[in-house]
A and B are shown apart, each in its own frame.
Chain A
Amino acid sequence: MNLQQLNQISESVQEKHGSCLKRVGVCCGAGCISSGSTAVVDSLKSAVKAKGLEDKVEIFPTGCMGACNQGPLVKVDTFNETIYQKVDAENAVQIIEQHVLQDQVIPSMLLFSDSDPEPKVRADENSFFQKQVKVVLENCGLVNPESIEEAIHAGSYMALHKVLTSMKQEEVIYEIKKSGLRGRGGAGYLTGLKWGIVAKFQNAIKYVVCNGDEGDPGAFMDRSVLEGDPHRVLEGMLIGGYAVGAGKGYLYVRAEYPLAIKRFEQAVKQARSFGFLGKNIFETNFEFDVEIRVGAGAFVCGEETALVASIEGKRGVPRPRPPYPAESGLWGKPTLINNVETFANVPPIILSGHHWFSKIGTSKSTGTKVFALTGKINHTGLIEVPMGTTLREIIFELGGGVPEGKRFKAAQTGGPSGGCIPAQFLDTKVDYENLVSLGSIMGSGGLIVMDESSCMVEVARYFMEFCMDESCGKCVPCRVGTKQMHDLLNKICQGEAASSDLELLEALAPMVKETSLCGLGMTAPNPLLSTLRYFREEYRAHIIEKRCPAGVCKMKTAQNKKKARV
């Protein structure tokens, strides 16, 4: 494979697109598939066939388009990108007959037509899309993730070509360092710095690992990227491999993501047959191959040392750091471990340069961040915004606010390792430092919105239960500490706690945070600590007044107990 061939593939795809009357993309992300988008694809295809237009109208699957709770989504995609929502096998035919053949838009099916009195014909005019800046999700929802030719047409493997044919290893690392890109898995370590550490080990076997063990409740960013644009992640890993001097890469992905596994596997096979994996990539000496390792359903395996143990075939438990995997990772060798989204940021940085990237976002947190919006929010879905966008913009402009006119109460970021941010901080600019100062973390990008009907003690209990269940059991503070904290929170939620129980909780939380072996235990008290910080009044109501202000917790009060006895 060389540049000429790459361009040829791109041109032939361009030609094919040009000969089409219309191209119709159907969202085939996990969300839309579960609401029936495969039937929509079949229906669209047979409708086109019935009209004898197979050559003129292309029906193709795409990755996630973003507005997940409006699915299945269909994008009619020539010049004015119209998205139709809640399409089923029957009204799909209407899209072909009216929009594709007669250029008549169907207003009643337009995206957000059930909430917006004037639904937009051009999907990107919706407030949901307007403030988004798509770097990672550039091709997601536009390109057929199952076709490498389409990916090449969309620009994939151009950055790899640039790196292999015109950049030295240290130049690649310099570019990533200068871009200010930080790890998107949660901790926010400078990616370029990590690459530099792995690269400095001379004459060693090295590995690249892509961490796709996304496990936070309510998070689906990495899943969507893997499902929607697997070639971009693969290309990022290849560039990382070249920069640090590794010859082998692993994608560690959880078994609960079968579609992501399938699409990535497919991408690896295609890349191998096109010569992007294997020996002499782009006619250079660079050699690289990728293997997929599927996790067995343990949240802790997202922690990098547990992930390494799991890939090695051992029990997935963490070990103390240092040494960090960058020095001693897979089989004791220097190993570069980055998150899916981090790798997906690499190709555009290489192509457009660090100046372009560092202009997006804030000075300390550059670039964009993909968020999975869930909970009590009108537009559930996948968004990508520049770092430094305020919570208010994300929740009320993009997310369309809280449904049923209820009052916003808190936003939970960072999953079980994060915290709850109350309404008074809605104008905080979202970046790594600001979220930490509020007692939460960026995390991998899950954003759960809660309204007045959510009980914050119950939220803390829920996340503590999650951590308790997912604790590997190796170290005492996490194994027993999360269990004790969970039981105490449970007691509070049932109205059976005394003030002394709260004191115990407040003694345990900092201890578990400071003494646990890995990130799971170290961050497990965060949801508890942040809700205590901002919603202490609710804890007080549960303990003293035996009352749940949000009306969520079922109190075992004296009266209820009597009733139960009768």
Chain B
Amino acid sequence: MYKEDEEMDVTVFGTGTSGHQYVSSTIRKYVEKAGLDIHVVESTKVSDFLENKISSVPAIKYKDEVITLKSNGSFNKSLRDAVKSILKKSNYGAMTQILIPIDFSETSANAFFFGHRLASDLGLMVKLVHVFTPVVSDITGQVYYDPGQSDVAREQLNQFIEKYDKDWGSDLMGGALVDGEVLLGYPADQITRTTEDPHTELVVVGTTGQSKIKDFLGSVSRSVIENAKCPVLVIPRDSGYKQTKTIIAAAQSVDDIPYIREGIQKLFGSEGLQIEFISVKNDVDPGKDKDLTILNGEDAEHTLSTYIDDHQPDLVVVWKKKHSFWESLFHSSFSKNLAMLSHIPVLVLH
């Protein structure tokens, strides 16, 4: 006889078929990944189905909510939604995430698609954040907030997730889970605050990728790069996802290399990565200092840009180390420096 399980149990109702077991094992996999203390139990007794008012199987019960999985072409989508529903009740536990701010522009959409592929490859989930800013009157300074407007923003975000959080490729459950949140306030502040979440491994922001236009890097992206508490990956508008294999990392000295390497490997692992560390110095002979390739050039930006253009890496990495040469470059003309890499993703380590 089925007894009401502990509140933290997920019951998967079914007939013991491979489909039933697939549902259980999929939920188990994600629950483990999130580090949640939730037991997944199977029930094959018809009396249990009746007692729990299960109309068709496979079905899932968790915290008094019953989710019936669809048996037609939407099976994987409904299983994916069920997994999300279970995890969301525990705020996704310890699952680590890639944070992607979205304003529904093409630039931010590209950051999302790129970030989603990366999250799928790295086994992370995606958290989309849309920041809604209430209108402030210029004259009176009063803040006008219409809850209806933020509801519209929330609906827009939900529709976006509903459309794109499904099985995209051949690996039906392999894609990263996507969750979203609408925050109220100023985008730069709110996004930066969200990067303080210890579960956030990386922020992915988009750029127009057009170096000649003034807003190559929007003020929000710029502020996030400056203030984020985690690495920021900057994706040009036309840069499509490719698995990262070749990296050029800018370093100031040989001493920087272990830190930069650690930052890269924390995200991408170490297998199959080809990392070249480079530094630009004036009045020195170009050559190697251990793992550091030293380039000679008066204009560091130009020298770096030319080198990257010649070598076409999959990713450029810059460490925003305090008081470093690279930081001074960034402070002097941040957007200009990123603009020179307008077609290649740039990872900014902090």
Q: Are both chains from one complex?
A: no
